[in-house]
Amino acid sequence: MAAFTCSSRPPVSLRPEMRLSSSPRASLSARRLFSVLPESGGLRTRLLFSPASLTLKGPRVSRQRRGVVCEAQDTATDIPIVTDSTWESLVLKADGPVLVDFWAPWCGPCKMIDPIVNQLAQQYTGKFKFYKLNTDDSPSTPSQYGVRSIPTIMIFVNGEKKDTIIGAVPIQTLTASIDKFLQ
């Protein structure tokens, strides 16, 4: 996985409901303010202020520390994508067991379970096939299999659905389900 750095240099605007009272006795926890950068798509950053930076007019952010620097990991995976048109050839006619992760880009729990599925895909390389199906791009297959909430993980053996796991579950739950179908 590749790491990348993002930077933002425009002024940080504090959300009005999170403003700090001007009391000099404000606790350290009250000095933590959250800001949302408009160009970040909702990235929340935590700003910490020292007692010296607090004035009667409220907190100030120095020009030198106004920017936000963050590090994140690229979420691109090596797990192949399956679609409605490739479903039969990749999943139903596959040799050996297949795990399919039904997900959508807007789904928070899907993002939570994604690293776990990626780890399992590496761990079970050669023993299990892993695929991801974006339910927004390919709605026919999820409706055919009764997927009503995501993330949903299904395990297929010889084209037959054998197990379904719904929700962002711990790695132990997925490992137990996978191990049932390994010989």
Catalytic positions: 107, 110
> Is 86 exposed, middle or buried, given 0-12, 13-18 or 19+ CB atoms closer than 10 A?
middle
The three-class DSSP label of residue 23 is coil
Q: Which tokens is 61 given?
A: 């952010």
Q: What is the DSSP string of 100-132?
A: EEEE-TT-HHHHHHHHHHHHHHHHTTTT-EEEE
- The owner of tokens 């479903």 is 87
Report which of 93, 101, 79, 83 is spatially closest to residue 157, judged by C-alpha positions: 93
Residues 6+ apart with CB under 8 A from 47: 12, 14, 32, 33, 34, 35, 59, 61
Chain centroid to CA 75: how far?
8
99: nearest Cα among 120, 76, 73: 120
Quick one: tokens of 28? 């350290």
